[in-house]
Structure 1
Amino acid sequence: MTHDHDLELTPTPEQIEAALNPPAGRNGGDLVVETLHGLGAATVFGLPGQHALGMFDALRRSSLRYVGLRVENNAGFAADAYGRVTGEVAPLLLSTGPGSLMSLAALQEAAAASAPVLAIGSQIPVAGLGGGRHGYLHELRDQQASFRDVVKSVHTVRTQSQIPSAIAAAWESALSAPHGPVWVEIPQDVLLAETTLPVVTAVDATPHDLVPRPELTAVAADLLAKAERPAIIAGGGVVRADATGKLRALAERINAPVVSTFGGKGAFPWEHPLSLQSWMEDQHTTDFLEDADVLLVVGSGLGELSSNYHTFKPRGRVIQIEADAGKLESNHPALGIHADARLALQALAETVAERPDDGVPARVAAVLKAVRERIDAQELTLEQEVLASVREALPAASPSFWDMTILAYWAWSAWPGAMHSAQGAGGLGYGFPAAIGAAAADPATPVLAVSGDGGAMYSIAELATAKQYDLNVTWLIVDDGGYGILREYMTDAFGEATATELARPDFVALAESFGVPGVRTTPETLKDDLAEALAAPGPRVVVLPALLRMFAPTHLG
């Protein structure tokens, strides 16, 4: 039997020449960067360390663009965002021990959000591996073990000839549905040793398709066509699979209302007559979805946030399309279809019979009206005005990255369209370094980061990064003097808050000390100040002193 790949096995004359006459002065690190280049990488993120210097030295001899951040966790967040906005693998170069471990929180977020981050870390020399304690700087007894519970796959290297294959296997793993972070580790001496191996010129790491089983999509299509009250929950898997068009075609064909989860924002047009938007933390939305006789869940595991904190109890038949097999039926019994969202939605859209129902837009409008009346009854005008000002100031083509802060919690429900946040794992400090990663992916488009003052302190050092690379990132810091959402949680639960109040710097003066222009704004001037900052080249900081409150998530008002 022959395969198409057989045609590519004979090296070209150019490849033969390069193989027989490799340039002098190459080391194991060159094999790393040559493999990344051969796989299509253009930009790498990271932070150097003693054991990883072979990789970083090799960058000097490559065409790869390097973006160095000041903390490994922030470098991981930047790579995460690069992967989210491009759909491409984002290489992250790290050192042994403390450097690697500092990235774990970012890799947890990448795993929860299915961002394709390829973390390549160094290791102590080969002689020190395999147990025992050899006294090497940065040494861990089992460095891989620290990553196995976080990343999608782990790949180890012990010789230079293993480098291209290990990185290619990791690359394929990162890009196969469901996307996710992967870990490769290479000993220091393997990276530093001179190599006689030829230049890496051709690497194949094509991700495999996750195709739905046809008997399952046939049953799902039949259920949806015959449903009286179908509904759709669109999760982040729809966005990652570039399946928004397929989702819209299916929803319109069967006249099914669509709710986008917080991670799935942008999966469905916000103002579409079938759009129930993203009010997941709302009893009216929960009741509507519970009343569906057939509920199609695409690219979501219906976890805590997507199930209104596990209060959602569907009464109808559930169909779940999910690329992560572990999430199938993990929270609710369903007809589970293990597949990439795009391929499964395409199969459904092509086979399902049309389901006319002229009354759906009115029912959707009634739910949204009830939600709006409930929110309005809580007298949270300031919060809604601040969010509207941010939306109006942000250019339509500009992405936004949100830290775990009260304004972001509002945005999950009320922001019209796509946004990126750390709600997958929920760690602080995501917004600004993630915006740096997006700005590196598209230097011509301004990017917005939103943080509270508590989260901002996690990544304040990256002002130096934004300035060094002259990135078009505007950072909105909402300063309420503490961990605002935790203050609310503790006050509600215990009557008063503990450990939530924070001393903080003058953020404007601090930004300016980095050479980054800053401005202190008010709710009334926010829109203009933010728009001006976003229109200006290079990094900018806008500080809004404001005490915002959350809406009641599930009460009927």
Structure 2
Amino acid sequence: MTQTIGEALVRRLEAHGVDTIFGIPGVHTVELYRGLAASPIRHVTPRHEQGAGFMADGYARASGKPGVALVITGPGLTNTLTPMAQARADSVPMLVVSGVNVLSSLGKGLGHLHELPNQSALAATVALDSTRVTTADSLAGVVDRAFARMAEGRPGPTHIEVPLDVAGQAHDSPMLAPPASCPPMASLDQITAAADLLRHAERLVILVGGGATAAAEDIRKLAERLDAPVVLTTNARGHMHGHPLVIPASPSLPPVRQLIEGADCVLAIATELGQTDYDMEFTGALPKFPNLIRMDICAEQLDRHPADLALHGAASTGVAALLVALEDHDAEGQGGAKLARDTREQAFASLTAKQQTHVGFLDAARDVLPNALMVGDSTQLIYAGNLYYDHDRPGGWFNAATGYGALGYGIPAAIGAALACPETRVLCITGDGGAQFVLPELMTAVDEKLPVIFLVWNNCGYGEIASAMEDAEVEVIGCDPTPPDFEKAAASCGIPYALSAEEPTVLAETLRIAADIQGPSMIEIRTAKMTRKTEPSQ
């Protein structure tokens, strides 16, 4: 029998290496589901389309491959826009496939079910590319274009929509193998010029961003060859764990900013140089970057923050090329390790006592769960870790507290990460506020039998926001939502629950118990509310 366009779409996704799809079926996507039953692609059902998007995000960050969400037209697509925006901010490859109403009705306001004035244009406000399949002949090209956009430049979300009356049409067009992706590479002249600057630098500092995960081992070799301190942004944590040259601290912290500004050359690798990494205090100014050499896969990023020397290319090929160009160079003994150690100590000392305690929790979790994926939401433990924390797996520490900053990210993203890396332990760190955004997604972890440990940091409200309102001399309003009974919530999902006291040693023992559980489990840490200058209104 001739396959339909919906079935051919599934085959094309298979050809691009897709093995997992997150989606909630609906009448507008029935034909897109037709080919899934006979496909090796695993379908995972979240409880909300926002969960589908965040699961796709977590899957992509953990696997290095695009995450895929399949949603209905209208509310399905709009519910996915928040995850798409987070993926855009953090350069995460994500493909969202949606249905849409029949071609003849689009843009006419006829009152059709799930109708939007212009769904593709709406998606394009956050997607790198938003394209519609209109014929069988166009299908392969549309899918290939979406994957190319995610692979050949700065990654991010893409969107494909398939009209209701197109999805069921016959597809008998031949489909060749997808073309190989061609990421940009810095030119030999650029590499040579950069190597010459690096060779003569006496106070070099290397900045590493989330786009450098694939180059982790070569970055270590390059840092050692240049004897240069390496500053890690949030999404780069896990590089060079425990190494004498690593500084696993936010470049927003004053000691780290001083290190950067005191350099005579800065090499920035696959980092956006954005506010939520380099200016967390919102001073309005990034650090000064003396003699900046910037390597980035995105030409637009290079234009947004011009460098003294720009290397347009992927980190994996660019760092490897620098190693070759500096093969005969050895800067050992220039004091890089001492400078890194001093900066680490000063950076940690600049944290508050409470933040240092929170880092202690993270260190305890890392030591009990080596090589784990730690996936976080916007909550106090994560805020502290983004300021200072040395993870032990490149790409193994990520959260939504930087970039777009979407609350409710942690639980579904951890589920996506666990599906991407089934042999790896996943620890989700979420607050009571963020957990309430997406609590039903716990059932997805139960359905899929995923060994995710959900750590809920419960301070009974939006403590950080309340503090910010007080600092601004604004009466605290809306920051005291009553949290659910998490023990009963876990029990209703069939999830083992444990209560941990507010100290790292007890958390470590509780994590050891949870690590032996085959499926999901929950640990709750109940903390006192943050000290208020005024009591909340009743």
Shift of 1:374: 3.1
Establish whether residue 511 from structure 1 lines up as the match of residue 482 from structure 2: no
Q: Which amino acid aligns with 2:218?
A: K
CA contact (8 A) 2:94 2:157 kept: yes
Cα distance in 1 for partners of 2:264, 2:415 equals: 44
- Whole-angstrom distance in 1 between the partners of 2:161 and 2:230: 43
| Residue of structure 1 aligned with 2:478, choices 499, 502, 505 | 499
Mean Cα deviation higher: 286-295 or 508-517: 508-517
**Paired residue for 1:534?**
515
Whether 1:78 aligns to 2:50 is no
2:95 corresponds in structure 1 to: 118
Matches of 1:472 and 1:237, distance apart in 2: 27
Q: Are the aligned partners of 2:226 and 2:332 in contact in 1 as well (CA < 8 Å)?
A: yes
Q: Which residue of 2 aligns with 1:4?
A: none
Distance in structure 2 (CA, Å) of the matches to 1:230 and 1:444: 38
User: Which residue in the other structure is 2:20 paired with?
Assistant: 43
Q: How far has the Cα of 1:446 moved from its partner?
A: 2.5
**Would you say 1:398 and 2:377 are equivalent positions?**
no
CA distance in 1, matches of 2:276, 2:172: 50
Deviations 1:479-501 (A, max 9, x none): 11111221222222226532111
For residues 509 and 179 of structure 2, what CA distance do their matches in structure 1 show?
47
Tell me, in whole angstroms, the C-alpha distance in 1 between the residues paired with 2:161 and 2:519. 35
- The offset of 1:198, in angstroms, is 6.0
Once the two structures are superposed, what CA deviation does each residue of 1:248-277 show, in whole Å capped at 9, x if it has no partner? 1211111111100112212x3132121122
Deviations 1:284-330 (CA, angstroms, capped at 9, x unpaired): 11101101010011111211122234544326211111112221152
Contact map agreement 1:475 1:540 (CA 8 A) in 2: yes
Partner of 2:499: 520
Tell me how far 1:535 sits from its aligned partner. 2.3
Distance (Å, rounded) in 2 between the aligned partners of 1:207 and 1:292: 37
1:66 match: 43
Give the aligned residue type for 1:413: L
Task: Tell me the distance in 2 between the aligned counterparts of 1:216 and 1:174.
Answer: 24
TM-score (norm 1): 0.89
Secondary structure at the residue paired with 2:266?
Answer: strand
Q: What is the alpha-carbon distance in structure 1 between the residues aligned to residue 222 and residue 95 of structure 2?
A: 34
Q: Which amino acid letter does the alignment assign opposite residue 180 of structure 2?
A: T
**Letter aligned with residue 292 of structure 1:** A
Residue 482 of structure 1 aligns with an amino acid whose one-letter code is G
Matched residue, 1:456: 435
Alpha-carbon deviation of 1:543?
A: 1.1
Match of 2:253 in 1: 282
Q: Is 2:33 the counterpart of 1:52?
A: no
1:262-281 superposed matches below 5 A: 262-266=234-238, 268-281=239-252
User: Which stretch shows the higher mean deviation, 102-111 or 162-171?
Assistant: 162-171
Aligned-partner Cα distance in 2 for 1:96–1:205? 29
1:154 equivalent in alignment to 2:126: no
* Aligned 8 A contact 1:230 1:256 in 2: yes
- Residue 62 of structure 2 contacts residue 421 of structure 2 at CA under 8 Å; is this kept in 1? no
Q: Matched residues in 1 for 2:356 and 2:16: separation? A: 50
Deviation at 1:506, TM superposition (A): 0.2
- Counterpart amino acid of residue 18 in structure 2: A
Amino acid at match of 2:90: A
3-state DSSP of counterpart to 1:133: coil
**Whole-Å separation in 2 of the counterparts to 1:548 and 1:459:** 22
The AA in structure 2 aligned to 1:441 is A
2:524 to 543, 547, 550: 543
**Contact 1:235/1:298 (<8 A) preserved:** yes
Identify the residue that residue 127 of structure 1 maps to in structure 2. Answer: 104
Q: CA shift at 1:370, angstroms?
A: 2.1
SS in 2 for 1:59: coil
More deviation, 294-303/203-212: 203-212
1:250 and 2:228 matched:
no
CA offset digits 1:56-99 (Å, max 9, x no partner): 23212322110111111111111111111111122211110110
Q: Secondary structure at the match of 1:60?
A: coil
Three-state SS of the structure 2 residue aligned to 1:66 is: strand
Matches within 5 A, 1:47-446: 47-129=24-106, 131-193=107-169, 195-197=170-172, 202-239=176-213, 242-266=214-238, 268-309=239-280, 310-314=284-288, 316-331=290-305, 333-352=307-326, 353-375=329-351, 378=353, 382-393=357-368, 395-417=369-391, 418-422=396-400, 423-446=402-425
Amino acid aligned to 2:472: A
1:476 match: secondary structure: strand
* Equivalent-residue separation in structure 2 for 1:170 and 1:502 (angstroms): 41
Query: Does structure 2 conserve the Cα–Cα contact (< 8 Å) formed by 1:290 and 1:312?
Result: no
CA positional deviation for 1:333: 4.3
Deviation (angstroms), 1:387: 2.7
Structure 2, gaps ≥5 residues long: 532-538
| CA deviation string 1:215-234 (max 9, x = no partner) | 22222111111112111100
SS state of the match for residue 351, structure 2? Answer: helix
Instruction: Sort the Cα spacing of 1:540 and 1:222 in 2 relative to 1 into closer, same or farther, 3 A.
Output: same
What one-letter code is carried by the residue in structure 1 that aligns with 2:203? Answer: R
Alignment partner of 2:472: what SS? helix
User: Given the superposition, is the C-alpha separation of residues 488 and 387 from structure 1 closer, same or farther in structure 2, using an over 3 Å criterion?
Assistant: farther
Match of 2:419, as an amino acid? A
TM-score (norm 2): 0.92
Q: Relative to structure 1, is the Cα distance of residues 271 and 388 closer, same or farther in structure 2, using a 3 angstrom cutoff?
A: closer
Q: Take 1:226 and 1:196, find their aligned partners in 2: how far apart are those partners?
A: 60
- Contact 2:183-2:297 at 8 Å conserved across structures: no
Following TM superposition, by how much is the alpha carbon of 1:365 offset from its aligned partner in structure 2, in angstroms? 1.6
**In the superposition, relative to structure 1, how do residues 475 and 205 fare at CA in structure 2: closer, same or farther (>3 Å)?**
farther
- 1:275/1:364 contact within 8 Å kept: yes
1:246–1:461 CA distance, 2 compared to 1 (3 A): same
Distance 1:492 1:515, change over 3 A: same
Task: Quote the sequence identity (%).
Answer: 29
**Corresponding residue of 1:553:** none
Matched-pair contact (CA < 8 Å) for 1:446–1:535: no
Measured at CA, do residues 126 and 428 of structure 1 come closer, stay the same or move farther in structure 2, by a change above 3 Å?
same
